[in-house]
Amino acid sequence: MSGEQAGVLRSSALMAAGTITSRATGLIRDMALVAAIGFGTLADTYSLGNSLPNIIYILVAGGALNAVFIPQLVRHMQNDEDGGHGFANRLLRVVTLITFVLTVAAVLAAPWIVHLYATSEYSAREFDLAVAFARLCLPQIIFYGLYTMFSQVLNARGHFGSPMFAPIVNNIVVIGAAIAFLAVAGDKLDVNTITDAQVAWLGVMTTLGVALQALVLVPVLLRSGFRFAYVRGLRGFGLGHTGRLAIWTIGLVLVNQLGFLVVTRLATLANVLASRADVVAQGLTTYQKAYLIFMLPHSVITISIMTALLPRMSRAAAERDLAKVGAYVADGMRLVAVLIIPAAVALGVAGPMIATVIFGFGAGAGVASTYAGLVVVAFAVGLLPFSLFYVLLRGWYSVEDTKTPFYLTVAYNVLMVGFSLPLFYAAAVEFKVTALALGYSLAYWLTFGLAWLVLSRRLGDLQSRRTLGVLVRLIIAGLGAAVAGLAANLFFTGAVARFTDREGEVALGFIGQPGWALVAAVFVSAVALVVYLVVAKVLRVAEISQAWSLVAAKLPGRRG
């Protein structure tokens, strides 16, 4: 496994670089959008309209493409005389037709879709704005389909980097659009003062970014040796088998979206209640921006590692070597945990400061961005089980079992709604979205434990004794790091409060002070990381030493 692990890490390096750059520009994109339209109900109408194409696409086609078709493409590349070109072209045609029809239907049904996802407390003006943004953004559906299909074909052919870099184009377009919007309209707009032309600008440019994200992959596909062609006939080429596998994955996505529908309605309600009570805005936009920060380490670490591992797992499954599949899953869990836990600790102890640094400008300046950081802290509680559950899901998909993940997803969403509803209604108005994020995290801890037990039985072994031992020691190291980080936070904020004589402004992460928040976030995270490494070393976590050896081997003076 050590040789395979090194291969996975090498394959992950380019993807990680692309993902880091993509996520960095994504953060800048969201910084620009928050600076332009803030966290209030105007921002929520845009966020809802821009979320709907992603929701609908994933609901109908995206989940099946992402989870099922890489294993199928690998098999067809290995077994078909044409190297899988015919299968890929047929699949591309089906996806394009489905997403085109879906786009037209969604644009026509936009008012009903918005009514489903938005709180019933929206005013007529707020509802109309959400519908306008939705109609401008829903054409993104077809381009999401093309991007996903192009990416899957490239991944199956061993090209992992380009799909990770393509979203950068999308981000640059939206950054430019938001800056231009801010320069012309300023940062004081609300639902009553924004004009139709300004709505159109935001919606059209957002959709243009997604279109370019897909189209930039066409030259890469051609260079990889893939050739677009119209291949006649759709029967007898494995699409039916793929479709049957996808049914359960579509069900899984449907259940997830039902859970997200509950969250969306509650989050949009939270912002309406906050505006009526004249307290800090926490709504759908706050939830999404906090989730973006939460997803950054998962995207850089977990997705990069598992994207490289999944084709290997699929080949082992095709050879009916379930023990090897289990070994890959266990190796992936340990490798992900080593890197995810310190990231979760950093988000937990420095979340308010991180959010202040990222969003504390323009319309997002002040207390709203800092309170978004509290949502980040609540999400951080669930980062480890969320990432490890993602690893376990790939174990099922590699053996073409899409039914079990469906049932586990049902269990997760029942738990998530069960936690979120009472937490939401018990929380004060300004903390209702934080309560939703906490419910999300708690549900993942229980679902992850259940998933581990079920997959262990399916594959025979996940090296559970060894893996559990590593996880326990890493969690102990993480808890020690969290305590040290919180102590460093209290020390630093206290020192700054005395130095600046502004105790009220530093109590929750340097409200309105992005400069001080940046210094604090770096200091607190560095203390937590050092403690994590020291404790893990004392507990003899071999994976820490292996990771350090891989990094140290690349440093100047350590070669040759």
Is 130 domain-assigned? yes
Neighbour tally for 446: CB within 10 Å? 15
Give the integer Cα–Cα distance in Å for 243 and 237: 12
**CA dihedral (165, 169, 170, 176) positive or negative:** positive
Task: Quote the domain boundaries for residue 517.
Answer: 2-552
pLDDT recorded at residue 560: 39
Give the integer Cα–Cα distance in Å for 538 and 545: 11
pLDDT recorded at residue 14: 61
H helices of 186-232, where?
A: 196-215, 217-223
C-alpha distance across the termini of the chain, in Å = 25
Single-letter residue type at 277 = A
pLDDT recorded at residue 556: 44
Neighbour tally for 331: CB within 10 Å? 22
* pLDDT tens, per residue, the chain with 560 residues: 455 555 555 555 666 677 778 878 988 999 999 999 999 999 999 999 999 998 888 776 655 555 555 556 666 666 666 556 677 777 788 778 888 998 999 999 999 999 999 998 999 999 999 999 999 999 999 999 889 888 877 877 777 678 888 999 999 999 999 999 999 988 888 999 999 999 999 999 999 999 999 999 999 888 877 777 666 655 544 555 555 656 666 777 778 888 989 999 999 999 999 888 888 778 999 999 999 999 988 887 888 777 777 777 877 877 777 888 888 888 889 888 999 999 999 999 999 889 988 998 888 877 888 889 999 999 999 999 999 999 998 888 777 777 888 899 899 999 999 999 999 999 999 899 999 999 999 999 999 999 999 998 888 778 888 889 999 999 999 999 999 999 998 888 777 766 665 554 555 555 557 777 888 899 999 999 999 999 988 888 877 766 555 444 444 444 43
Give, for 525, the enclosing helix (H) or strand (E).
Answer: helix 514-538
Is 30 domain-assigned? yes
**Hey, what are 202's tokens?**
């935001």
Give the integer Cα–Cα distance in Å for 541 and 475: 11
pTM of the predicted model, to two decimals? 0.81
Query: What is the number of domains present in the chain?
Result: 1
Is 195 domain-assigned? yes
Neighbour tally for 195: CB within 10 Å? 10
Is 361 domain-assigned? yes
Is 403 domain-assigned? yes
Is 560 domain-assigned? no
Is 318 domain-assigned? yes
pLDDT recorded at residue 41: 92
Is 558 domain-assigned? no
